[in-house]
Amino acid sequence: MKARERARTIKGRPSRFMDSKSNILVVDDNPDKLNLIKAALDLAGYNVTTATDGEEALAAIESYQPDLVVTDVMMPRMNGYELAQRIRANPVTKFIPVIMQTAAGRRSEDLRRANEVGALGYITDPTDLDLLLARTRTLLEFKAYLDVCEEAAFTDHLTGLANRRRFERQLEREVARMERYGHPFSLLMIDIDRFKDLNDSFGHDAGDDAIRRLSKVLREGTRGIDLAARIGGEEFAVLLVETSKEGGSEVAERLRAAIKALEIPTVGHITASFGVAECPTDAQTAADVLKAADVAMYEAKRNGRDRVVVMQQPPRSNSLAAGDVQGDGNLGLASRG
Ligand code: GH3
Ligand code: MG
Ligand code: MG
């Protein structure tokens, strides 16, 4: 394939996608300009992918999230303005910075439009590579800081698990996915048993240590596509995607046993109570799934703790009484505590 043709195809994922180098997408229908900019960014040490118009660029952005987009203005099919607009309009890509470059600008008019569509850089001489690199560096620094902030905002500080905010967002998405594709999912609610006593006996630091170790069990005992979260002090939730209640109760039982088997210095052993609910069988909205799993978890507490209780029936209209839940004995999940 000739260089010119190669430049016309999206290069797919950058080869070193997973390293810490920033990923930049360069979009231009002019192969010379494209290659010039790509070479400069390559040389500066960035991972660079290319596209030759806005539509190709959007497809590339969808398949991996670049840290920065450098785009030409005048291109066939979809121009740079529309591309920037589409990037900004999508909540998932909204904060990917865009630099526009054009050799054929009617300066003030085009600059105004670039600003209107949210471009953070506007370069009128694409051969001024020092200017491009300076802009690139600054915007990538801001992007990296945003990424760190976003990560911190969605992570539980003590355990590194997802926090309640991320969990709720993911739960909403999972409900939407269920509505669209009909795939069920299960939700586990988990609460450490008699944790107040543990704190009182061994101190808060020992309690924190127990929380961290339990979190590790949840992280390691679930698949990468599932989401384990700390949603309160000693309360956790696990979202098991595309998992029926039967599958969910098996996972819960496995996690319960693994938590009980933990040997925690100073403290010894802990146990936890589990509630399991399935969407859509037990509930159809995020709030109701959460409530159903919570009701089941409280039933586990009532039945003696250190056990799994599975929501058995769809709750009757707007009442989620504990009476709707049957104890683990019905599912052969008798406590081994
Ligand atoms: P139950 O079996 O009914 O769940 O009893 P419990 O004692 O676990 O429940 P309760 O809700 O009465 O007490 C929860 C305790 O968890 C109280 C609080 O001090 C402790 N806790 C909450 N967050 C943290 C934390 O981050 N670290 C530590 N060490 N303790 C915490
Ligand atoms: Mg508790
Ligand atoms: Mg609690």
Nearest CA to ligand 1 atom 24: 233
Are 170 and 149 in the same domain? no
Are 29 and 125 in the same domain? yes
Q: What is the mean pLDDT of residues 158-177?
A: 97
Are 169 and 315 in the same domain? yes
9: three-class secondary structure by DSSP: coil
Nearest CA to ligand 1 atom 6: 194
Structural domain contains residue 287: yes
CB within 8 Å of 16: residues ≥ 6 apart? 47
Residue 162 has pLDDT above 90, yes or no: yes
Residue 13 has pLDDT above 60, yes or no: no
Q: Which ligand sits nearest to residue 202's alpha carbon? A: 1
Point out the least confidently predicted range of 11-15, 26-30, 134-138, 172-176: 11-15
First to last CA, the chain: 67
Are 13 and 111 in the same domain? yes
CA of 313 to the centre of ligand 1 (A): 30
CATH, residue 120: 3.40.50.2300
Residue 15 has pLDDT above 60, yes or no: no
Q: pLDDT-derived band of residue 108, with 50, 70 and 90 as boundaries?
A: confident
Q: What is the pLDDT of residue 86?
A: 97
Tokens 């052993």 belong to residue: 269
Tell me the residue range of the domain where 8 lies.
3-153
Are 29 and 81 in the same domain? yes
Which of 153, 176, 198 delimits the end of a domain? 153
Q: pLDDT-derived band of residue 192, with 50, 70 and 90 as boundaries?
A: very high
Nearest CA to ligand 1 atom 4: 193
Phi and psi at 200, nearest 5°, equal -65, -35
Which amino acid appears at position 30 of this protein? N
Structural domain contains residue 158: no
Give dist(CA 317, CA 308) in Å, integer: 24
Beta bridge pairs of residue 98: 69
User: pLDDT tens for residues 272-300?
Assistant: 999 999 999 999 999 999 999 999 999 99
**Residues 245/276, Cβ–Cβ less than 8 Å:** yes
Indicate if 235 belongs to the active site: no
Q: What is the pLDDT of residue 286?
A: 97
Q: What is the pLDDT of residue 254?
A: 98
Q: Tokens in use for 15?
A: 């080869």
Which of 131, 153, 175 delimits the end of a domain? 153
CATH, residue 302: 3.30.70.270
Are 147 and 9 in the same domain? yes
Structural domain contains residue 206: yes
Structural domain contains residue 170: yes
Are 127 and 218 in the same domain? no
Total domains, the chain: 2
Beta bridge pairs of residue 283: none
Pocket of ligand 1 (CB under 6 A): 191-196, 199, 204, 207-208, 211, 233-234, 301, 305
Are 32 and 172 in the same domain? no
Q: pLDDT-derived band of residue 106, with 50, 70 and 90 as boundaries?
A: confident
Q: What is the DSSP string of 106-154?
A: -HHHHHHHHHHTT-SEEES-TT-HHHHHHHHHHHHHHHHHHHHHHHHHT
Q: What is the pLDDT of residue 329?
A: 38
Which amino acid appears at position 41 of this protein? L
Q: What is the pLDDT of residue 107?
A: 75
Nearest CA to ligand 1 atom 26: 233
Are 176 and 67 in the same domain? no
User: pLDDT tens for residues 110-135?
Assistant: 899 999 999 999 999 989 999 999 99
The DSSP 8-state label assigned to residue 316 in this structure reads: P
Are 101 and 236 in the same domain? no
Which amino acid appears at position 125 of this protein? D
Are 214 and 327 in the same domain? yes
User: Which pTM was predicted?
Assistant: 0.76
Structural domain contains residue 118: yes
What proportion of the chain, given as a percentage, has pLDDT over 90? 81
Q: What is the mean pLDDT of residues 169-180?
A: 95
Q: What is the mean pLDDT of residues 30-58?
A: 97
Phi and psi at 232, nearest 5°, equal -160, -170
173: three-class secondary structure by DSSP: helix
Are 145 and 190 in the same domain? no
Candidates 56, 234, 253, 278; catalytic one:
234
Q: Which atom of ligand 1 is nearest to the CA of 207?
A: 29
Which of 130, 153, 176 delimits the end of a domain? 153
User: pLDDT tens for residues 250-278?
Assistant: 999 999 999 999 999 999 999 999 999 99
Give dist(CA 285, CA 271) in Å, integer: 30
